Chains A and B, each alone.
Chain A
Amino acid sequence: MERIIFYILALIIVVFSIASVSSRKMLRSVIYLLFVLCGIAGFYFLIDYNFLAAIQLTVYAGGIIVLLIFSVMLIHHIEMELEVAKKSRQILVGLLCLFGLGVFLTTIYAHPFVVVENKLTTSTADIGHKLLSYDAGGFILPFEVISVLLLAAMIGAIVIAKKSRE
């Protein structure tokens, strides 16, 4: 049962990734990308990591995709189509993609995966404790660094937005 769902999700992700980069209409690409991201959220649900799945849906599907749609709506007219790249470039990109795929596949098949019997569902409380713990394996430092980074980004955005007023 889980195997079937896995293959269905994988198929969705592969098909829509290809559709996303090959579509000539910009908003359609964005929507195909949304399906890919939802498929990844589906994987997280499948391995019982509900918290990450919900975050994936909120941040990527709800946040990033909405922002992308917004920018497309502002700059793009409905009848415009994206240009098709030159043949030589297409071949170059295709070769690069094949190379990348090869590297991935060799690493995956060379790595001895160990099946971990993990029936525990990670709760939100566990994640919270881990994020704020000072002990070994705690994530307090990256957590703080990221919050400072976000603050800096926010101040930067405000400064850029204010500049045009003068």
Chain B
Amino acid sequence: MTRFFSITKNIHEWLFDLMPEGLARVVEMILIAVVYLLIFSVAGLYLVLLERRVAAWFQLRIGPNRVGFQGLLQTMADALKLVSKELTGTERADKFLYNLAPYFVIISSLMALSVFPFTKDFQAFDINIGLLFLIAISSIGVIGILLGGWSSNNKFALIGAMRSGVQTISYELSVGLSLLTMVLLAGSLQLSEIVEVQKGGWLIVQGHIPAFIAFMVYMIAGTAETNRAPFDLVEAESELGAGFHTEYSGMKFAYFFLAEFINMFIIAAIATTVFFGAWLSPFGITESIPILGVLWFLGKTLILVFLMMWFRWTFPRLRIDQLLTLEWKYLLPINLVNIVFMAIVVLLKITI
């Protein structure tokens, strides 16, 4: 179930020497969870900084550059500020659901992180239905948004939450179907096996035209899934205040904010794994040094993250009817035809 580097192997043996097997296993799981939690909360903070710097670059500003070297500590300071802020709420809100909602969002996005193959041996949970698991987990996050919007007892929050629900339910279909197109080619749902298939060439190269269409549909639908501009009707500052998280403050707001950035990372990481060969280097140039796989994985993911930021600061926001038209009248039919196309390509073996 769990595979590691050699350093972690030593810790693993040490733990099993020290304690009875059952206890050691539990302690090990908790350790892995804590490590993931630490890495990704810090990574999420740096994604926020990246977003701000990229935004500044697109708008010909400088962006945060005062705290630490080139503003590197800016988001850390922001996080500290958010921790120290008072947690407020509206009167007559449903307190139980109001407090529960942020955890739904953050837990579902952190759970999804556990299945990614960062390198050959660095994957916390290599489940045999990895891709389906990712789709399943991502469909739970929206419940947190709906709950947060409803239990705030605020009209703007409610409207934002309803929009989010409509949007996520619609675009989930496109994300699922475009990934299914690639599963046809890869022949497995297990992420490590999908990577294994790509040793001869990344899937986007192997599947040429249909794979490229699937990639484009996936990136559009994935951006919509994370509720980011140009699909940020959920927040739509000019109409709704801040949408579903209008009433949240302090750390609870930070959870929503962090989850958004981790979700962006997840969408990019799925694309990296399924289309661009995860930790495999181009033409196998660093195959002899497996530890460099992490860098390749992160590099590819960050390029895709940058692409999503580029979308955000380039396109204007869609109206709700345009949003639904785009999904149901364009993306979904294109996707369905594309699946048939891909099936024919795989059947006739005209893959590269």
Contact residues of A with B, CB < 8 Å? Answer: 1, 25, 27-28, 31, 34, 50-51, 54-55, 57-58, 61-63, 65-66, 69-70, 72-73, 78-79, 121, 123-124
Contacts and interface: CB of A to CB of B under 8 A. Distances in A.
A1 B147 CA distance: 34
Interface in B267-321: none
B142 A78 contact: no
A78 B150 contact: yes
Nearest to B183: A124
B147 A54 contact: no
Contacts of B73: none
Interface stretch (B49-57, B91-99, B196-204): B91-99
B230 to A, nearest CB: 23
Interface in B118-173: 127-129, 132-133, 135-137, 139-140, 142-143, 146-147, 150-151, 153, 158, 161-162, 165, 169, 172
Given A51-B132, A62-B140, 12 more contacts: A1-B25, A50-B128, A50-B129, A50-B133, A62-B142, A62-B143, A66-B143, A66-B165, A73-B150, A73-B161, A121-B128, A124-B132
> Which 9 A-B residue pairs are closest in the complex by CB-CB distance?
A62-B139, A57-B136, A58-B136, A54-B136, A54-B132, A1-B22, A50-B129, A69-B146, A78-B153
Nearest to B132: A54
Nearest to A121: B128
Given A27-B150, A73-B150, A123-B128, A78 B137 contact: no
Contacts of A65: 143
A87 to B, nearest CB: 27
A63 B142 CA distance: 10
Contacts of B169: 66
Nearest to A51: B129
A27 B94 contact: yes
B77 interface: no
B30 to A, nearest CB: 14
Given A28-B96, A50-B133, A70-B165, A57 B150 contact: no
A61 B139 CA distance: 8
B143 A25 contact: no
14 contacts: A28-B96, A34-B143, A50-B133, A51-B129, A51-B132, A54-B136, A57-B137, A61-B140, A62-B140, A66-B146, A69-B150, A73-B146, A78-B92, A79-B92
A124 B183 CA distance: 11
A25 B94 contact: yes
Nearest to A34: B143
A31 B93 CA distance: 16
B87 to A, nearest CB: 19
B100 interface: yes
Contacts of B143: 34, 61-62, 65-66, 69
Nearest to B146: A69
A66 to B, nearest CB: 6
Contacts of B96: 28
B191 interface: no
Contacts of A25: 94
A58 B135 contact: yes
Given A27-B147, A78-B150, A124 B129 contact: yes
Given A78-B153, A79-B92, A54 B129 contact: yes
A31 B133 contact: no
Interface string B64-100: 0000000000000000000000000000111011001
Contacts of A51: 129, 132
Contacts of B137: 57
B332 interface: no
A25 B98 CA distance: 14
B220 interface: no
Contacts of A72: 150
A2 B161 CA distance: 38
Most chain A CB neighbours (cut-off 10 Å) among B133, B153, B172: B133
